[in-house]
Amino acid sequence: MRLRRWNWLRSRHGGWLALGLAALMGAQAQAQWGSSHDQFHDKLMQLGAGPDGGSFGPIGNTLCDTLNEARKTTLVRCVALRSAGSVFNIYAVANGSLQLGFGQEDLIAEAFASSEAKGGNTLRTVALMHNSPIGIMVRKASGITELSQIRKGIVNKGSKGSGIYANSTALLNAMKLKESDLAGVTFMPPTEFEKAFCEGKVDVFINAIAHPSELYRRLRACGGEFIDISPDVMQKMQQDNAFLKPMDISAGMYDLAQKQVKTLGMRNLLISNSTVDEEAIFRVTSLINSKHKDMQSKQPYMSSVVLMRRSDIDSLAAPLHPGALRALQASKP
């Protein structure tokens, strides 16, 4: 009897309660976003971040936490997922498996322009993210002191599908080195590589990551040293990849003995697919713009993140998503 009474009360009054809550949330969303409707798709945004030990993971967690804190007004929920990195994220967004993903700008441009990348031309830019200088770290005990000597060492190229692997391959190609020219090659992600490096089983690590990085701090503590990318290799890499720009890793960033490092790097982008709902991307991008400084204060990896400007549109690796364009147009000039 009591159960039947509860069911009757729920059927009698539950609908009105649900309508009341929906109306309240709709009013909040309308006040926040200036829109009279909240019936849009893609309210759950799955974000491809990166592997453990990189910067994509912590940045993805910070971004999703920020979006979820505002979920009552944006009506958008974000879930950051571990992934292999840039290459995986780009293709997962292109084929619609993910709604959002982080990727290196050069790899995004390659996928967007490629006729072999299924869905590559559907990639769209949502926001600019952090800069990633390429850090080449060698074990001091290996005797390697400059880039031309890395053939003497065991080089970790990173797991396939990662930005580490793509950057390592680009560097070796610019040096006209094949894997067979090296003393040895491994394909480990950062979490596995760190132990191997500190145990002396690997001599060279190549990674493009935001700085300062706790990974590089630990690698220096167990005998690692940065080396420069030589001018001739820089020139060749930039000829092959117009998105690479000269960057430095500042002296003393990790300890007083660390010298300034001359290298190349690239921007990272937050990307989506052209089929993802415009209203959802508008709300995501608007929140990123309004919470930009807050996220930087919470996550040091985001210190180099700058907001999109109208002058950036024509230089992007993939066109701006219509929702992101609306957010840009609604922002202050």
Report the DSSP beta bridge partners of residue 128. Answer: 269
Residue 208: its pLDDT value, please? 86
Kindly report the average pLDDT of the chain as a whole number: 87
Q: Residue 169's pLDDT is what?
A: 94
Summarize pLDDT for 247-293 with one digit per residue, the tens.
999 999 998 899 999 999 999 999 999 999 999 999 999 999 999 99
Cα distance between residue 259 and residue 322, in whole Å: 44
Q: How far apart are CA 182 and CA 262, in angstroms?
A: 23
Residue 24, judged by CB atoms within 10 A of its CB (0-12, 13-18, 19+), counts as exposed
**CB 89, CB 285: distance < 8 Å:** no
pLDDT at residue 321 in the model = 98
Look at residue 35 in the predicted model and tell me its pLDDT: 52
**DSSP output for 180-207:** GGSSEEE---HHHHHHHHHTTS--EEEE
Mean predicted confidence (pLDDT) in 55-83: 96
Q: Domain residues of the chain, as ranges?
A: 44-130+268-330, 132-266
On the question of pLDDT at 195 being above 70, the answer is: yes
Q: Is the pLDDT of residue 184 over 60?
A: yes
Eight-class DSSP state of 222: T
- Give the fold, CATH level 3, of 132-266: D-Maltodextrin-Binding Protein; domain 2 (3.40.190)
> Confidence class of residue 331 from pLDDT cuts 50, 70 and 90?
confident
Confidence of residue 116 (pLDDT cuts 50, 70, 90): confident
Q: Which CATH superfamily is domain 44-130+268-330 in?
A: Periplasmic binding protein-like II (3.40.190.10)
Q: What share of the chain is helix, strand, coil (3-state, %, to 5)?
A: 50, 20, 30
The pLDDT confidence band at residue 23, using thresholds 50, 70 and 90, is very low
Domains 44-130+268-330 and 132-266 share a fold: yes
**Two structure tokens written together for 225:** 């040293």
Cα–Cα distance measured from residue 281 to residue 329, given in angstroms and rounded to the nearest whole number: 14
Question: Confidence band (pLDDT; 50, 70, 90) for 118?
Answer: confident
Residue 173 has pLDDT above 90, yes or no: yes
